């Protein structure tokens, strides 16, 4: 059972669940809820904190002395891993795809402040760098370290357990307020978060439609990613249902590229901030917000449907986009 799996305390849980009343008025929806995983509490929070509780549980059990992971220069996952390592008293090595910038901003600045050792790989993107993670781990072992390998986004069965558990939390919160969401809208990248949510929804009998707004894949690529992870989870843990859950993937909001902020994302970030003081990020939650706004305005969401927007964090990277917002 989930309770038997070691977990290292990192997050302030439960994260708040509340309504976005101004956005409800302006989009003409009766109930828009937000789950505030931007407030998980670890160095600006975010969805990786829940995953890292299980990752660190294992790393500590194995007496690892170093966490090693990989990501893009503005990776929220890397920043939260650096913070988790600081809390646990471990060394942290971050392998970052891209050229070292002259000025560190956003997550990269925080990685440095949190004491992580940063290695830049100018000729890699984070997929190619992920492919080399094992070799780098072998080298660190040869040097006498006890590294714990965390894949990009902590997208593996152990990490996804954080979101299996999160569904238990959100179900209790909705039960308390006497509501339940018809749809859950969330940003999906490496698919670790949605895989956990889908399993958690199965275990908790939550029948909301879970909608993954992809930030880098088309529908087919993303479905393959989610399904592979679900199969891996089923193989790894007996308590995971063997049936494939239903879910929706929406790739209409990809824009022109992973880290490029479109005008639609920009205005969605501004709308959430000005209306309900919710700060989003340009890569993930800004896209999911744009999806919610466009779907509501296009009538794809009926006014009496209850929507949950899952805020997965990422706020520090908004500080890298000041020139776009000041235009």
Ligand X SMILES: Cc1ncc(COP(=O)(O)O)c(C=O)c1O
Query: Which position among 21, 26, 75, 322 bears the catalytic label?
Result: 75
Could you tell me which residues come within 8 angstroms of residue 158 by beta carbon, excluding any fewer than 6 positions away? 51, 54, 55, 58, 236
| Residues in region 152-181 near ligand X by CB under 6 A | 153, 155
CB of 195 to ligand X, least distance (A): 8
Main-chain phi, psi angles of 326, to 5 degrees: -90, 0
CB of 146 to ligand X, least distance (A): 26
- Residues 162, 181, 189, 282: which binds ligand X (CB under 6 A)? 189
Residue-level length of the chain: 327
Q: Does 320 bind ligand X (CB under 6 A)?
A: no
Q: Does 187 bind ligand X (CB under 6 A)?
A: yes
Residue 188 bears catalytic tag = no
- Residues 312, 316, 320, 321: which binds ligand X (CB under 6 A)? 312
CA terminus-to-terminus distance, the chain: 52
Instruction: Report d(CA 47, CA 66) in Å as an integer.
Output: 21
Q: Which residue lies nearer to ligand X by CB, 140 or 285? A: 285
CB of 100 to ligand X, least distance (A): 21
Q: Which residue lies nearer to ligand X by CB, 26 or 259? A: 259
Q: Does 314 bind ligand X (CB under 6 A)?
A: yes
Q: Are strands 66-72 and 91-97 parallel, antiparallel or unpaired?
A: parallel
Q: Which residue lies nearer to ligand X by CB, 116 or 140? A: 116
Convert residues 64-103 into a mask of x (bound to ligand X by CB under 6 A) and - (unbound).
------------xx--------------------------
| Residues in region 206-265 near ligand X by CB under 6 A | none
Give the residue nearest to ligand X (CB): 314
For the record, the structure tokens of 116 come out as 């992580």
- Catalytic site positions: 75
In the complex, the residues that contact ligand X under the rule CB under 6 A are 46-47, 76-77, 153, 155, 187-193, 281, 284-285, 312-314
């Amino acid at each position: 059972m989930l309770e038997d799996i070691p977990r290292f305390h990192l997050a302030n849980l439960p994260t708040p669940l509340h309504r976005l009343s101004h956005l409800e008025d302006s989009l003409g929806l009766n109930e828009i809820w937000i789950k505030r995983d931007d407030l998980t509490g670890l160095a600006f929070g975010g969805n990786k904190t829940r995953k890292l509780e299980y990752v660190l549980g294992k790393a500590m059990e194995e007496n690892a002395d170093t966490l090693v992971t990989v990501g893009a220069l503005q990776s929220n996952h890397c920043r939260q891993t650096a913070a988790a390592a600081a809390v646990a008293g471990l060394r942290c090595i971050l392998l970052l795809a891209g050229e070292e910038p002259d000025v560190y901003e956003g997550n990269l600045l925080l990685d440095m402040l949190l004491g992580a050792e940063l290695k830049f790989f100018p000729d890699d993107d984070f997929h190619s760098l992920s492919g080399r993670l094992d070799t780098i781990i072998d080298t660190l072992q040869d040097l006498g370290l006890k590294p714990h390998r965390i894949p990009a986004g902590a997208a593996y069965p152990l990490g996804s357990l954080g979101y299996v558990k999160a569904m238990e939390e959100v179900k209790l919160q909705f039960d308390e307020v006497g509501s339940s969401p018809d749809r859950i809208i969330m940003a999906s990248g490496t698919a670790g978060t949605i895989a956990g949510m889908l399993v958690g929804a199965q275990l908790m009998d939550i029948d909301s439609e879970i909608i993954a707004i992809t930030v880098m894949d088309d529908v087919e690529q993303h479905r393959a990613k989610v399904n592979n992870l679900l199969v891996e989870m089923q193989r790894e843990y007996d308590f995971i249902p063997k049936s494939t859950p239903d879910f929706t993937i929406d790739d209409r909001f990809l824009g022109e590229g992973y880290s490029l902020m479109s005008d639609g994302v920009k205005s969605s970030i501004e709308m959430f901030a000005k209306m309900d003081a919710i700060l989003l990020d340009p890569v993930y939650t800004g896209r999911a917000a744009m999806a919610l706004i466009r779907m509501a305005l296009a009538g794809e969401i009926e006014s009496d449907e209850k929507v949950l927007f899952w805020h997965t964090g990422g706020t520090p990277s908004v500080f890298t986009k000041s020139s776009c917002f000041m235009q």
